[in-house]
A and B are shown apart, each in its own frame.
Chain A
Amino acid sequence: MSHEKEFSDERLNAFVDNELGAQEREEILAAAAVDAELGQRLCALRASKELVSHAYGRVPAVRHKPGRRVSLWSGALAASIALVAGVLIGWQGHRASAGGAEPLAWAGSLFAPQPARVLIHLDSSQVDRMEEALDMTEAYLAKAGRAKVELVVNNSGLDLLREETTPHAARIAELARRHELLAFVACGHAIARYRNAGLDVTLVPEARVERTAVEHIVDRVRQGWTYLKI
């Protein structure tokens, strides 16, 4: 006996997705027990599900280059900023800002005459990500001139601002010397966790501490800052 007509594909999909009630499940299970073709249709649907899940079990890691993210997604970033700040920007504005190929080009123009404000967030001590955070900071400052920029670190990203571990003390000092509107911010929770683990934490002199990085980030985003996670 064939159940081709009786059980639609939608119903069988709902079965393998666990969307049916107990009674409907029973009906399909009972039918599949005596109908090999129905059983095979269910198997094929389950196989499809597993293949899709398997295909994205491991996705490629991405580490963007400085400027890449901002230039690509500038329209949407602007949208979130507009949302938070309550600034009305028409879609024409988005398109104009998204069309520019030059990295970071939007920063000065979109928010002029008010200086742009950008928070860059690092939560890793990986060498390339530390460098990326500083590259991004520097690229932004170079482009946007009077921009306010904060580099906020938490978790193992704290290592960037620890005298004990940072490979970039001289670069941080130089950046801070050249840009008075640049701030380096360390997460108070991260510092406490390090100390609880018996590690010394002496911050570079340019750094200041906020209670937690996440609170600070949320606060800044709500004030209209652009948020970039490294």
Chain B
Amino acid sequence: MKWLQTRAQRELAEKIEGNRGRLYRVAFAWSHDAALADDMAQEALARGLAKIDQLRQAEHLSSWLFSILHRCWIDHLRLRREYLDEEALAELPSELPGPDGHVETQETVSRVRAAIAALPLGQRQVVTLVDLEELTYAEVAGILAIPIGTVMSRLCRARGALRGLLEPVSEQPRLRSVK
């Protein structure tokens, strides 16, 4: 227990525990599978606790945990997909349930989730980290280990796609008629 003797380190361990809810929410936004999201959050927590002495700056805790969550997600996908490289994984088309024929009757949350589900994996990750967790582009770039320019282009494409998919929700038809 020598390495955990200081109060700061003990508090850090408790903070890692305290991030479980955020990890779960983001994992759910990526996977749309509550059980899998719970597993990923759990795994990120366990890996974080195991590597706690590698975190030098406590203020970077959230980003650090999200980067671990990202690794968990990639590991999970690789287990299922015969070692695709990360670039290929990011462009994977969605396998999640998309909007169905009754989309008009669904509530807003369901519609938005369906639209997110339709995004390629890399775009889904970027848009949820930026919009849900309000992380900066630099933080997202660090978490996903990609250049900031890639964060921006994925975000751009994601929001462009969402705009198209969500037009009735975000009242786009009037806008488009102006063009």
- CA separation between A151 and B13, bound complex, in Å? 19
Across the interface, name the chain A residue whose C-beta is closest to B169: A51
Question: Which label, helix, strand, loop or mixed, suits the secondary structure of the B interface?
Answer: helix
Asked whether A69 and B28 contact (CB < 8 A) given A49-B131, A80-B46, the answer is: no
Q: Is the CB of A221 within 8 A of B43?
A: no
CB-CB under 8 A from A217, the residues of chain B are 13, 49
Name, among A56, A62, A77, A98, the residue most crowded by chain B CB atoms within 10 Å (CB to CB). A56
**Contacts A62-B34, A69-B39 given; does A48 touch B24 at CB 8 Å:** no
Number of A-B contacts defined by CB within 8 Å: 154
Task: Say yes or no: A52-B172 contact (C-beta < 8 A), given A59-B24, A64-B35.
Answer: no
- A73 within 8 Å of B by Cβ? yes
> Which of B10, B38, B83 is within 8 Å of A69, CB to CB?
B38
CB distance from B133 to the nearest CB of A (A): 9
A52 to chain B, nearest CB (A): 4
| Whole-angstrom CA separation of A215 from B159 in the bound complex | 43
| Inter-subunit contact A53/B132 (CB<8 Å) | yes
Residues of B whose CB lies within 8 Å of any CB of A are: 1, 4, 10, 13-14, 17, 20, 24-25, 28-29, 34-40, 42-43, 45-47, 49-52, 72, 75-76, 78-79, 83, 108-109, 112-113, 116, 127-128, 130-132, 136-137, 152-153, 155-156, 159-160, 162-163, 166, 169-172, 175, 178-179
In the complex where A55-B116, A73-B42 touch, is A9 in contact with B160 (Cβ < 8 A)? yes
Task: Report the bound CA distance from A126 to B86 in whole Å.
Answer: 40
Identify 4 new A-B residue pairs, CB closer than 8 A, beyond the known A73-B76, A76-B72, A218-B13: A10-B152, A13-B156, A55-B116, A56-B113
Q: Is the beta-carbon distance between A10 and B132 smaller than 8 angstroms?
A: no
Report if A212 contacts B (CB, 8 A).
yes
* Contact status of A48 and B163, CB under 8 A, knowing A53-B131, A55-B113, A95-B79: yes
In the bound complex, CA of A37 to CA of B174 (Å): 11
CB distance A14 to B152 under 8 Å? Answer: yes
Instruction: Say whether chain A's binding surface is mostly helix, strand, loop, or mixed.
Output: helix
Residues of A within 8 A of B4 (CB): 215, 218-219
- CB pair A10–B128 under 8 Å, yes or no, is no
- A-chain residues with CB within 8 Å of residue B37 when the two chains form the complex: 59, 62
**Does B49 contact A10, Cβ atoms closer than 8 Å?**
no
- Which residue on chain B has the smallest CB distance to residue A19? B137
Docked CA distance A91–B77 (Å): 13
Question: By the criterion CB–CB under 8 Å, are B39 and A10 in contact?
Answer: no
Complex CA–CA separation, A52 to B165 (angstroms): 12
Q: A14-B137, A48-B163 are in contact. Are A62 and B113 (CB under 8 A)?
A: no
Q: Which of A51, A75, A83 has the most CB atoms of chain B within a 10 A radius of its CB?
A: A51
Distance between Cα atoms of A98 and B78 in the complex (Å): 11
Q: Give every chain B residue within 8 A of A48 (Cβ-Cβ).
A: 131, 159, 162-163, 166, 170
Could you list 10 examples of A-B contacts with CB < 8 Å? Answer: A17-B130, A55-B109, A62-B34, A64-B39, A73-B43, A83-B50, A215-B1, A221-B49, A226-B46, A227-B46
